[in-house]
Structures are given as structure tokens and as C-alpha cells.
Chain A
Amino acid sequence: MATLKLGSTTAMSESSGAVSIPSNVQFPAGHIIKTHKLTYRITTTQNVAVSSSFAVVTYASPGGAMEITGITATQGNLLHISGYGGTVYAQEDGSYATCIGFGIDGEEHGQFHGFNYGTSTGKYGFWNGHIGMVYTVPANFTNKSIELRCKKEGGSALHQIRASTGVLPVTLWMLVHEIQQ
């Protein structure tokens, strides 16, 4: 094993021909220094009911909760958070929107809102559920969770998020990039 030191600090090390850079080495601003991902491949129709609480989108097996846990990031860096939680759907509701977004360490971040002007029978709204956002890491961001969440604004109409016929088989996903600043 060999090490390359700058002063007394190890900048690179080698073991069995593999060279690695230790985590204490700071990359220039703009570099992605860490990634976290989640994927579920859904092959048969699954619908998920949406309530007025901004809840984590959770599919049944082979899916699961749209949630990445154990995220630790450095204060001041950027998190680029993106994901696809399925197709957003509202049934015969001309009054209330459907919202999808992220929960970051318990904090709500709405990102998209679909609204269907039709209330009569057979008037449905379908929207693409891809979302993304940028978040500046606060102090003490250690072992946190980031979730993809969905809610309806209110009312009694049926709202859902779906992985269903027409898009199957579908990959639901979340990706978090930590970008050095």
C-alpha cells in the first residue's frame, strides 16, 4: 500500500492497484461528491390513494416507500434532488389540486401541482410525476431522510398516484446528488 501525502495529509492511497481519494479531500466547487438513489421496477398496475396529508408515496411490493434514509451532507453544499413517483391522477375534481414534492428531514417542499378543471362524470386529470429541486444543506445534516410525498388539496374526490397500464413496466426512482460549493 502506498500513499501520496501533501504535508502530513494523505491525498491519495493505493491498495492492490486500486487508487482511492480519502473523504477529507475537498473537490472544487461544482463537483458531485456523493449520490444516493432509490429505484423500484413496477410491472403490474399499482394505484396509491392520496390524502390531504403530505404523506410519503408508498407502493406495495415490489415497490415500497419512496424514501432514502441515512443521508449526511456538508453545510453549505447543494443537494440536487429529483425523482419520479408515478402518474398523478385526479378524478372528477374541479376544485382541488394534487401536489407532489419532497419531504427533507421532515420539512415539506411542494414541487408540482396538477389541477383538473372538469367536474363532470368522466373528467380525469393525469400529469407527469417527474419532479426536481435544489436544497442548500443546513447545519447538522446528519443521517437524514428525503422522501417523495403527495397530497390532495382537500375535498372528497379521488386523487391517486399511479404506476399503471400505459406506462408499465415502469421504474420509479429518486436520486440525490450532493454538489460541492
Chain B
Amino acid sequence: MNSKINRIDAVHSLGFHNFHGPDSGEFVFPDGETPPSESEIQAEVKRLQAEYDAKAYARARQPLYPDIGDQLDDLYHKGAFSAEMKAKIKKVKDDNPKPE
């Protein structure tokens, strides 16, 4: 998904999977298919953008977590997350809180 939601993302999200045309222009749909209205497309753009923006915390956390291999190695050796690994993960979460 793009960081800036566009009309193509919105039309696709509305369940149309076989259309072509430029994002800022007119789309062509297969014969017999009723295309979404522009207001439906714009409403879906708005909804998807809000959904994307609300996940900013998760995207911020993702590259900061310890390497997956390190986490698994830690699990293998300790049988559970060590206090040190737990602390690293918790710090990422605390530094990037999930909005209430």
C-alpha cells in the first residue's frame, strides 16, 4: 500500500480488480460492470488514508525491533525471552506508543 492513498488503491479496495487507466484520470471497466461513483471513490480514499495513518506507530516500531534471528536464537537458548530481549522489545513499544 502506498503512503499516500490514491484513487487506484480505493477502487481496488472497493472490490474492482479488473480496470485500467491513470490515477488522476478516467478508469475503464469491463463491459457490463457498474463502476463506482467518484464520491464512493473519494470516500474510500479517505477511509484508507485514515486506516494507513492510524498504523504509523506499527511502521515506526517494525525496523527498530531486534533482528528476528536474534530473537529466535534467544528463545532457543533461554527457552523464553530473556529479560534483556524483553526489555529491548518493550523499549521499542514504549518509544512508539500505540494511540489509544
Within 8 A of A (CB), among B1-40: 1, 6, 8-9, 11-12, 17-25, 27-28, 30
Closest to A162 in B: B23
- The answer to whether B24 touches A60 (Cβ under 8 A) is yes
The interface residues of chain B lying within 8 Å CB-to-CB of A12 are: none
Per the CB 8 Å criterion, the residue count for chain B at the interface is 18
* Chain B residues within CB distance 8 Å of chain A: 1, 6, 8-9, 11-12, 17-25, 27-28, 30
CA of A155 to CA of B12, assembled, Å: 12
Considering residues B1, B20, B21, B27, which has the most beta carbons from chain A within 10 angstroms of its beta carbon? B20
Within 8 A of B (CB), among A28-87: 46-53, 55, 58-60, 63
Listed by A's residue number, 25 A-B pairs whose Cβ atoms lie within 8 Å are: A46-B22, A46-B23, A47-B8, A49-B8, A49-B12, A49-B19, A49-B27, A51-B18, A51-B19, A51-B20, A51-B28, A51-B30, A52-B18, A53-B20, A53-B30, A58-B22, A59-B22, A59-B25, A60-B22, A60-B25, A63-B22, A150-B20, A156-B17, A158-B8, A158-B17
The interface residues of chain B lying within 8 Å CB-to-CB of A46 are: 22-24
The interface residues of chain A lying within 8 Å CB-to-CB of B8 are: 47-49, 158, 160
The interface residues of chain B lying within 8 Å CB-to-CB of A4 are: none
* Chain A residues within CB distance 8 Å of chain B: 46-53, 55, 58-60, 63, 91, 150, 155-158, 160
CA of A170 to CA of B9, assembled, Å: 22
The interface residues of chain A lying within 8 Å CB-to-CB of B20 are: 48-51, 53, 55, 150
The interface residues of chain B lying within 8 Å CB-to-CB of A150 are: 20
Nearest first, the 7 A-B pairs at minimum CB distance are A156-B17, A51-B20, A60-B25, A60-B22, A60-B24, A47-B23, A49-B8
The interface residues of chain A lying within 8 Å CB-to-CB of B12 are: 49, 158
